[in-house]
Amino acid sequence: MADTLVQKDAPDFKAQALVGKGFKEIQLADYKGKWVALFFYPLDFTFVCPTEITAFSDAHAEFAKLGCEVLGCSVDSQFSHLAWTNLSRKEGGLGEIKYPLLADITKSIARSYGVLVNDAVALRGLFLISPKGKVAYSVVHDLAVGRSVEETLRVLKAFQQVEKTGEVCPANWSEGKKTMKADPVKSKEYFTAAH
């Protein structure tokens, strides 16, 4: 079993990416000082994957408001990514995507993040990387179930809340709810109010 990346430096990478309708080399270091939501998906032209890719694209403005860049990544080429964006969503395509799709054809990015299986495809891995370049959150699961963009935004907001206030976020915390002080005595303020 691979060690977790949480609390460690996010593995750097450099790869070609589809950005809009063109290609650009992107590296993680380009995003230093910003939050990054990096997600891996198995393959282009599949079934669950376009639902996730388009959901992250539709929520792009919400991530941008939170100072977070979104990056998608699969083991396909940038040319395959481009062909997929040329198909409409009604046909299982992507249409316009508002963030870069990394081309990990050497599989080195998926391997470095511990999500490569059978040396073939990436599991559905999602990593929130802090402005300091540390992995703050990771979730990795099997191929058949898509991720929740709303949950990703909730967790991002929670980490930003902790950063801002120094208080911690209890289970099911969402924006506007009470946080708690990480102290044996002061935490009782939260517990008293919650129960």
Residues 161 and 114 in one domain: no
Q: Could you write out the three-class secondary structure of the chain?
A: CCCCCECCECCCCEEEEEECCEEEEEEHHHHCCCEEEEEECCCCCCCHHHHHHHHHHHCHHHHHHCCEEEEEEECCCHHHHHHHHCCCHHHCCCCCCCCCEEECCCCHHHHHCCCEECCCEECEEEEEECCCCEEEEEEEECCCCCCCHHHHHHHHHHHHHHHHHCCECCCCCCCCCCCECCCCCCCHHHHHHHC
Extract the tokens encoding 16. 């070609």
pTM score of the predicted model? 0.94
CATH code, domain with 97: 3.40.30.10
Phi and psi for 26 in degrees, rounded to 5? -125, 140
**Based on the domain organization, do 88 and 169 belong to the same domain?**
no
156 in the same domain as 81: no
pLDDT in tens, 103-142: 999 999 999 999 999 999 999 999 999 999 999 999 999 9
Question: Percent of the chain scored above 90 by pLDDT?
Answer: 92
Angle, to 10 degrees, between the axis of helix 149-165 and the axis of helix 48-58? 40
Active site residue 49: yes
Answer yes or no: do 166 and 129 share one domain. no
Tell me which residue has tokens 């979104």. Answer: 70
pLDDT at position 2, please? 52
Q: 8 and 64 share a domain?
A: yes
- Ramachandran area for residue 68 (φ above 0: left; ψ -120 to 50: alpha; else beta): beta
- Name the active-site residue from 49, 68, 73, 169: 49
The answer on pLDDT for 162 being more than 90 is: yes
Residue-range definition of the domain harbouring residue 170 = 148-195
CA-wise closest residue to 39 among 156, 132, 119, 195 = 156
**Domains in the chain: how many in total?**
2
pLDDT greater than 90 at residue 150? yes
Same domain, 143 and 183: no
pLDDT of amino acid 1: 40
The mean pLDDT of 174-190, rounded to a whole number, is 91
Give residue-wise pLDDT tens across range 9-49. Answer: 999 999 999 999 999 999 999 999 999 999 999 999 999 99
Query: Does 24 share its domain with 85?
Result: yes
For residues 62-69, average pLDDT? 98
Dmax over CA atoms of the chain, in Å, equals 58
Given a contact cutoff of 8 angstroms between Cβ atoms, the answer to whether 13 and 27 are in contact is: yes
CA gap 180, 178 in Å, rounded: 7
d(CA 127, CA 112): 12
